[in-house]
Structure 1
Amino acid sequence: MAPFLGIPTELIQQILGLLLVPDLARLCRTNHFLRYHAEPCLYSTIDLNWSNCTKPPIIPLLWTLLSRPELFALVDTFSLRGYAYRNRNINGEDIPVPQDELRLTIPRKITLSPFISAIKKTKVSYTDVWVDRLKAGHMEAFAGLLIAYLSNTTSLMVTTNFVEDFALVGKILQSKALQLQPFHSHSQALQQGAFPSQMPNFTQLQRLAYVRRMDQDQQDHNEPFRESMSTLYLPNLVDVKLWIPNPSMFQWPEGEPNLDHLTSLDIEWLDPRLLVEILSLTRNLRSFTYSWDYIDAILNDDWKVPYLDLDEIVTAISPVKDTLEKLHIHFRVGFGLRDTWPQMSISGSFNKLVEFDRIRELNVPFAALSGFGPDFTPLDRGLPPSVEALSLTVDMMEDEAFIWNRARPDMTCWGKDMNAWAGRIRPWEPEYTFQSLVLLLAHACPAKFPRLRQILWLNRVADSEYDRFKREAERLSPLLGVDIKLLKHCIDPGYAAA
């Protein structure tokens, strides 16, 4: 032990950083010296998961943190993960999860008085509701209390199960984000082992994910616009992922925030006509991901109509065209349940993306470039010449809105006998046309897209079709200098970047 205690602090931290959480916890109980070095590693990353079969040990964790408030300042990365708890009957139909299954059991050896005292010291207007929810064992009351006293955290993730109700977690985030002055004294008080007179600010927070899952089972939860938008007031955010519901009228909670520090933004659900209100303030945005969803069962959202204007989306993101390097756009209708799909009305195109001359990585639906119908457009029409990695998805291709003429010429013979190809008509098989358009794009690369090095294409095709395309892609890739891949599974957004 003595030689270990004598080595430099930096080396001790590196060694302890390799240990698992149980080992770090045991080290903390060994002696004061090891606890001093092990605690920053033990509490730097907290990841809690909540599902039907798993309830996180959040109450014992909070008990420890409240008994030693200085430990809150050690939490660098905090994650509350959940992916929609649900029960199903024997027919596979969703049934409500009983509230008793969702509530936490208070261990007998733990009293709630320190929890209640900490809630009251926040001095927020909703302390009474917060205390009532805590006494009833609601997860959001404990999760919100943990979030309330975080001070030096740089990365925060809160997902579906922890924000289902939005009543407390969202309000607490809003309270921390909209405090009008930085309470540095509060952070100092936590480090000194005392509670501040008000919850500390997130002055160090750089990465935030505050998202939930939207589906037909949750159609009555489309209200917390103000809570989601308030997070954008946090002063040092760099990377943000938000699920933003549509308001009856768009209005910033406290005037326009300063979003110059944002470099990466991921937005789900918000109507494209409202995107410009946010993107017009992001003057240094380099990465943007947008998911447009339509569920006709969502009756309380006046913005969601079966109409998609591609020109409107391009116009909405045009304020960031001079800085944007990565663009990912996803369309989802009915979430794969065909009996919920409406007859969509689609207009416009992505052709004006050619003006985004800094984009290096582009991930968009195949149909958004080729057109939804009745005729396809060559893929190169909407590609910026700067693109290096292109990912094409099958979003909405099975929807009735995708109406390519099914009497197109068979394109399987293009490049071999163009006259024979032009004269042949047969029932339309989309795999042939998709493959041909991709290969035509690859042939245009050396001249029009000198930087394009990778084309990833996600499609559901028969093994025989996959093998034929794969062989042709393998033949052309080295000749054209483009790596062409047909993927049979979802595209990982980070795949192209890797």
Structure 2
Amino acid sequence: MEPRHQPTFGWNSCPAEILYLVFKLLYPADLQQLCLVNKTFKTFAEPLLYSTIHFTWQEYHQYYSKLDPPPPITQLLRTLLSRPQLAAYITSLHLDGKAYAIYETRFKLPRIYIPNAELDRPIAFIRRTVPYSDEWIQKLRDGSIDALIALLLSQLPSLRYLYLGRAFTRQSTLIGMVLRSGICEYGTYNNKLPDFRYLREVSFLCRKQRDEACDWKTKNTADVLPLFYLPSLQCMSVSIRNPEVWTWPTDLPVPSKLTFLNLTSIREGQLGEILAVTQNLKTLRWEWYYDAGVADEFVTKTIALDQIASAISHVRDSLTDLTITGNCQPSAAVGDQFQPGLQAVGSLDAMASFNIRRLQIPLAFLVGFAQDTTKRLQDVIPRNIEFLTITDDLAMQNMDYLEDWPLFEWKDDAILELLQSWLKEWTICTPNLRRITLSLCWIDMDEWSPKKRAQLRDLGAESGILLELIDT
């Protein structure tokens, strides 16, 4: 008997839905190859290939590593400017890397040049788009990363996700001008810049320490504030330096969909400027930061607890999840090795009436640095709290033991006493409490012995609250 003929399977005759599901699983390199097979495959593969752009500059590094070649941003721009229909496919842009953290780029900003033979299209686009074209073009010729990323953003009308890491934000004046022109002044330039109306998740991160290749007096505030006007914004992580005068680019923003905000660099003196316009915020992450090399009117050694409470009060009803971390750095520029002394003034007592249910916070923000028997956790912890994490952030401040600044004096016995005082009456002052976590990095050899840890567990068992100690 002759074998029955088996029809061959043809991908070209496959339903479009099946092709899409299969292609969606492939790596970019595979999609790139499929674009070369035939027009049908290219129709499905090309949008997937361009949907997510992820470039990393200097993924792994040591301080004296050689700077890696930059990612192919100029090649991408060349393609987008010659085939602008491809830009509509790009919904996610992620630029990151450690190129800012090596010796070669410490005192001198790296450059990314567009080849002279490829400058005509970018220059033509810039000239017909904005009134600040001369500045933009000159910086583009000079290899400015700021000018290059501004040009890239100006080509992307369909973005839903944007991540600009520290290697790409050391200077951001032109990025900010493009964002401001597109978002806050849309229509002014004949709609030739995108308004980023679909952008929902944004990260704009800057290095915390003083950048020795840039003027430390130059703030990025005006560059990032346009992001708060994005109509679809839901989630944002942003580094905002503290300007002398706070000025919004136009009328106050109303980011009604913004529910998650992660803030770094900005200090408590201007934190309220942001939180005053984020009325629907549910989750806030904020890093209190002091760098002895960047001290100014706002970046001081004083933790102004009253200002912090006042700032957070703007979202007291909507905010349910708050994380505050503390970070203190010596002045590396002059060779300091010890963390400088700090002081906490005022109190967070007003926070007791806020609607916060999940809280992570340094112990020093709750009861100060110096041990004080009059301080009680129940006076400051939000009444609706369910999960509390207490850290020992900033415990190593004043490492050179200056007499004018307090040491961190809270040891295991004192912390246990704080908890005992609170848990005697927790059902009255914090009736929804479920768990307390001590997340401690700086434990002395004679602290938290097995006996003390047992006392902590017993206290939790007696009160019906889960108590845990995590050595981090």
Q: Which residue of 2 aligns with 1:361?
A: 358
Per the TM alignment, residue 454 of structure 1 is displaced from its structure 2 partner at its CA by 3.3
Matches within 5 A, 1:133-172: 133-172=139-178
Shift of 1:107: 6.4
After superposition, the C-alpha distances for 1:176-200 in whole angstroms (9 at most, x for unaligned) are 22224499xxxxxxxxxxxx86112
Alignment match, 1:310: 305
Match of 2:86 among 71, 86, 90: 71
Q: In the alignment, is the contact (CA less than 8 A) between 1:354 and 1:382 conserved in 2?
A: yes
Q: How far apart, in 2, do the equivalents of 1:182 and 1:18 lie?
A: 41
- The one of 40, 47, 56 equivalent to 1:49 is 56
Give SS of 1:215's match. coil
2:414 corresponds to which of 433, 443, 448: 433
Question: Match for 1:373 among 363, 366, 370?
Answer: 370
In structure 2, the residue matched to 1:173 is 179
TM-score by length of 1: 0.79
> Could you list the per-position Cα deviations for residues 92-128 of structure 1 after superposition, in whole angstroms to 9, with x for gaps in the alignment?
xx984555xx2236569x633223233334x222222
Which of 84, 95, 120 matches 1:113?
A: 120
| Aligned residue number for residue 199 of structure 1 | 193
Q: Aligned AA for 1:59?
A: T
Shift of 1:258: 1.8
Within 2, Cα distance between the matches of 1:2 and 1:482? Answer: 63
Closer, same or farther: CA 32–477 of 1 in aligned 2, 3 Å: farther
Percent of matched pairs sharing the same residue = 28
Report SS of the residue matched to 1:35. Answer: helix
For residue 295 of structure 1, report the CA deviation from its aligned partner: 2.2
Which residue in the other structure is 1:382 paired with? Answer: 380
Structure 2 CA distance for partners of 1:385 and 1:21, relative to 1, 3 Å: same
1:348 aligned partner = 346
Distance 2:188 2:29 in 1: 36
Change (3 A) 1:367 1:33: same
- The reply to whether residue 226 of structure 1 matches residue 233 of structure 2 is no
Displacement of 1:364 in angstroms is 0.9
Q: Is the 8 A contact 1:466 1:486 kept in 2?
A: no
- 2:206 is matched with which residue? 212
Q: 1:116 to 1:470 in 2, by over 3 A?
A: farther
Structure 1 residues 440, 42: CA separation in 2 closer, same or farther (over 3 Å shift)? farther
Give the unaligned 5+ runs of structure 1: 89-93, 184-195, 407-428, 490-498
Partner SS for 2:326: strand
1:434 maps to amino acid: I
1:137–1:249 CA distance, 2 compared to 1 (3 A): closer
The question of 1:297 aligning with 2:293 is answered: yes
Q: How far apart in 1 are the matches of 2:206 and 2:360?
A: 22
Residue 480 of structure 1: how far off its partner (Å) = 5.4
Distance in 1, Cα, partners of 2:358 & 2:97 = 29
Q: Secondary structure at the match of 2:44?
A: helix
> Which ranges of structure 2 fall in alignment gaps of 5 or more residues?
1-7, 59-66, 399-404
Q: 1:119/1:181 Cα in 2 relative to 1: closer, same or farther (>3 Å)?
A: closer
Deviation at residue 26 of structure 1 after TM alignment: 1.5
Would you say how many aligned residue pairs link Structure 1 and Structure 2? Answer: 443
Equivalent pair of 1:204/1:236 in contact (CA under 8 Å): yes
Is the aligned partner of 1:104 residue 2:99? no
Q: Partners in 2 of 1:275 and 1:483 — Cα distance? A: 33
